[in-house]
Amino acid sequence: MERDEQLQDLIRRGLDGIAGWEQQWRPFERAPALDVDAQAARAAIDELARRLHNNYPFFHSDYAGQMLKPPHEVALAAYVTAARINPNNHALDGGPATAALEHEAVAELAHMFGYREYLGHLTSSGTVANLEALWVASRLKPETRIAFSSEAHYTQARMCDVIGARTTLIPVDARGRMDLDALARCGGEVGTVVVTPGTTAAGAVDAVDAVVALARERGWRVHADASYGGFFSLIANEPAARLDAGAWAAIKDCDSVAIDPHKHGLQPYGCGCVLFADPRVGALYKHDSPYTYFSSGDLHLGEISLECSRAGAAAAALWTTLRVLPLRPDKGLGPILLACRLAALAAHARAQRGGLLTPVIAPALDIIALAPLRAGERASARAISQRTEMLFSALMADQQRPFYIAKWRVAKALGLLALPDVEWDDDGCTVVRCALMKPEHGAIVNDLIEALERWPLLRA
């Protein structure tokens, strides 16, 4: 309740501030066609609230399923405040204030990765951020292939298909990371390599530093899809986090980076970001639009973006959030990320102690993947998948203490390395996957693992 009261107070302050700004212009008569019946409006909102009840409790610590959580109340209040004006960050005359906020917020993200010179902007999603990075790569390295691992997000293959780029799929090692030996065997057809510091399936972190070193020898571009894991750069040097600091430090040496503030940046959907280490790639975006650019000689965000209309409210929300939750390891977002990381480490350790669940890979971020398989037990892939499906349904249906988890279909190629005790009678194996991306998750780790350990009691 206290959080709701704070949110309402912040929204009122923001809207009051905008109302005061509106007063500087002469009054005008609102078009009667825009008027609606107040009772009907309230009824519509009430019905919306009822319809929205058909959701899982993304806000709750007992939800550990998909990468979903509500935005911070500061971000939400800032978004609503700016949305009252509804600025468009495609051109400076569509949103001069929020364009400035976007430049400042993007600069903070660039500095977090260690970029000194850069070109970047917000996008509506990580998908679009990756699309832009791959599009630029295909323009700079035409007729070459784009390589990424079998555990990279499916958007890599999809966006390559969109831009007509040929691809090379690289297998992964037992930890879900790009296989460096397989990458080294790639021939001269490859022009760009996509590394993933934080896969969305299991949070695996590719050896970015090793890939960058190889790429420099071969003349390849490197794009880092840090959509999920990027903010963990903040705590890469914290001993308690037990992260591979070298991999995170090497992101600054990548040619481009994608990151999603609407995940660990506590932002509303959609808020992605793409960054380029070489500002000169902006020349690739050049186009003519005689009716859009007229108000300034400065660079417009629309001139370095494949998207046109973009919500200025997203920039306002991110900028405002970073005022109160700065990008620092010791305060702001840093301690939040560390709490999530520690929750995953604790869950992994608890599962190992129990002996009833087999970790697929050790967590590299805040995602855990567990197979309902006793230590030393031999079981078929299909049997494990059935156990996972039963767990998934049973935990959500528990009337006393439901837990909301997700599932991951582990490909046989990775499973042969990571789950040697599995009899592979199928091309994949479905296991439990939990994204412990809320700082409150540390408090429920023992209860969650205990609930997952019920699988021997379940029957198909």
> What residue spans define the domains of the chain?
83-290+298-324, 333-457
Q: What are phi and psi of 379, to 5 degrees?
A: -150, 155
Read off the pLDDT of residues 93-147 as tens digits, 9 standing for 90 and up: 889 999 999 999 999 999 999 999 999 999 999 999 999 999 999 999 999 999 9
Q: Residue 300 corresponds to which tokens in the numbers above? A: 């417009």
Long-range contacts of 211-216 (CB under 8 A, 24+ apart): 211/178, 211/180, 211/183, 211/250, 212/250, 212/253, 212/254, 214/180, 214/183, 214/184
Q: Which helix (H) or strand (E) is 435 found in, with range? A: strand 428-435
End-to-end Cα separation, the chain, in angstroms: 41
Mapped onto helix, strand or coil, the DSSP state of residue 349 is: helix
Local structure of residue 284 (DSSP, 8 states)? G
pLDDT score recorded for residue 4: 87
Nearest residue to 136 via CA among 45, 221, 210: 221
Computed from CA positions of residues 146, 150, 155, 161, in that sequence, does the dihedral angle turn out positive or negative?
Answer: positive
Computed from CA positions of residues 327, 330, 335, 339, in that sequence, does the dihedral angle turn out positive or negative?
Answer: positive
pTM: 0.95
Local structure of residue 141 (DSSP, 8 states)? S
Nearest residue to 162 via CA among 139, 141, 131, 191: 131
DSSP string, 25-68: SPP-PPPGGG---HHHHHHHHHHHHHHHTSS--TTSTTB-SSS-
Local structure of residue 93 (DSSP, 8 states)? G
Contact 325, 336 (CB under 8 A): yes
* CA–CA distances in Å: residue 421 to residues 8, 167, 250, 412, 417: 53, 33, 35, 13, 10
Residue 208's Cβ-side half-sphere holds a number of Cα atoms within 13 Å equal to: 32
pLDDT score recorded for residue 92: 80
pLDDT score recorded for residue 295: 47
CATH architecture of 333-457: Alpha-Beta Complex (3.90)
pLDDT score recorded for residue 294: 41
Query: ∠ at Cα 181 (233, 248), nearest 5°?
Result: 5
pLDDT score recorded for residue 94: 87
Strand partners, 258: 225, 274
Residues 6+ apart with CB under 8 A from 52: none
Under CATH, what is the fold of the domain 83-290+298-324? Aspartate Aminotransferase; domain 2 (3.40.640)
Mapped onto helix, strand or coil, the DSSP state of residue 133 is: helix
- Please list the rounded mean pLDDT of every run of 10 residues in the chain (460 residues): 88 96 94 96 97 96 93 97 94 89 97 95 96 97 97 97 98 98 95 97 97 97 98 98 97 98 96 96 75 52 85 97 98 98 98 97 98 96 97 96 98 97 96 98 98 87
Read off the pLDDT of residues 10-62 as tens digits, 9 standing for 90 and up: 999 999 999 999 999 999 999 999 999 999 999 999 999 999 999 999 999 99
